[in-house]
Copies of this chain bind each other. A is one copy, B any other.
Amino acid sequence: MSDKKGRDNQPTLDDVAKAAGVNRVTASIALRGPRPGARGGTRISEATRQRIIETARELGYAPNAIALAFRRQRTDLIGFYTGYGNAVDPHLPFMADVLHGLQQGCARHQQDLVIYGGFARHSTNEIYSALVSGKIDGLVVLPSPQNPVVEKLVHSYLPAVAIANTVAGLPSVTVDDIGGSQLLATYLARKGHRRVLYRTDTVDHVSPGLRRRSFLQAAAAHDLEVIVSLPESSSDTMTAAEHALLTGPLHQRPSVVVCWVDTSAYAFLADCAHYGIRVPEDIAVAGFDGIVGVVPPLYRLTTVRAPWRAVTECAVDLVMQLIENHKVPPETTLPVELIVGETA
């Protein structure tokens, strides 16, 4: 086995050139072709080129990616930054979709993906510096509300695209929160529901806000009464107030719970099972996201499917456009779909 002493004794372009008896530049061009407009292939004779390629193969030459990146000012690396803490927990279906989209997007453009680590205990400036340090060519951002790093990115040179939530000054890719909420309100009204408990997010963010407001509006248009509830977002368990409503007098009891996001709905379903509340007989439940897991769930949830993978892939596409100095639309909205399960 070879020594594991580092890349130092790897052959360089100079080594190849020397071994083939040509100049460094000749080797460079023979192996990777000229970058600029360049006068076609006439630069190097086919014989020399073949000899150089063969020499490179023999020596086991692999170009130094860092030197290349240094020279070209291009790393072929796309980064991902999430405002929600350091960890990108891929067990969350939303994150899994995002990661999958990042990968597919990067693969399509022959880029590699960088997930940052160790931002946890860093200051805004340190994180920002790391992002714009030139390590990556572009960035997909999952913005959290009022994130100062995201604010700085808006004014930076770094090509960046936001997903899931709009950010003023950054091109964003989102799902049709408004359309989805309307779809849901209309469906529930048709099914004969008159009173809805709407569970929303405690953190004020663009997308949940849009969903809530547009649901309220659509509900009003359908004569649906809506009670808004704010469970603790970390656990999403059923609050005392919610429990009281569901077990209270029939004439003020909601017949359906709409959750701003599927995870909240699943947590609610689990609590219903725990309290012996039957779904959908006692209460119907609907979500928003369209989570799919490999593990067959307890219930097939009625929900609005949001194409997060596609959203993220699209964001990567836009980042590539920006990198190549093309214009991109400030907002891209992808359509959603109503999925009728067995819970509502």
Contacts and interface: CB of A to CB of B under 8 A. Distances in A.
A157 interface: yes
B132 A93 contact: no
Given A65-B134, A112-B116, A133-B64, A292 B154 contact: no
A302 to B, nearest CB: 14
Contacts of A93: 91, 294-295
Interface string A168-181: 01000000000000
Given A4-B157, A292-B91, A65 B111 contact: no
B86 A90 contact: no
B117 A106 contact: yes
Interface in A56-84: 62-67, 69-70, 73, 75, 77
Most B CB within 10 A of own CB, among A1, A70, A106, A117: A117
Contacts of A102: 115
A25 interface: no
A266 interface: yes
Contacts of A75: 66, 135
B65 A133 contact: yes
Contacts of A135: 65-66, 69, 75, 77, 112
Interface residues of A, number: 81
Given A62-B132, A64-B133, A112-B115, A154 B4 contact: no
A237 to B, nearest CB: 13
A19 B237 CA distance: 57
Interface stretch (A6-14, A42-50, A211-219, A227-235): A6-14
Nearest to A273: B296
Tally of this chain's copies: 2
Nearest to A69: B66
A90 B129 CA distance: 29
A252 interface: no
A281 interface: no
A325 B322 CA distance: 40
A96 B90 contact: yes
Given A103-B88, A114-B114, A118-B106, A157 B69 contact: no
A171 B107 CA distance: 29
A134 B91 contact: no
A336 interface: no
Contact of A99 (B2, B99, B269): B99
A116 B92 CA distance: 22
B114 A2 contact: no
A95 B100 CA distance: 11
Contacts of A7: 73, 132, 134, 157-158
Closest 4 A/B residue pairs (Cβ): A106-B117, A65-B133, A107-B117, A90-B90
17 contacts: A2-B155, A4-B158, A6-B157, A7-B158, A64-B133, A65-B130, A66-B73, A66-B75, A66-B135, A86-B107, A106-B118, A107-B120, A109-B117, A110-B118, A111-B118, A112-B118, A273-B296
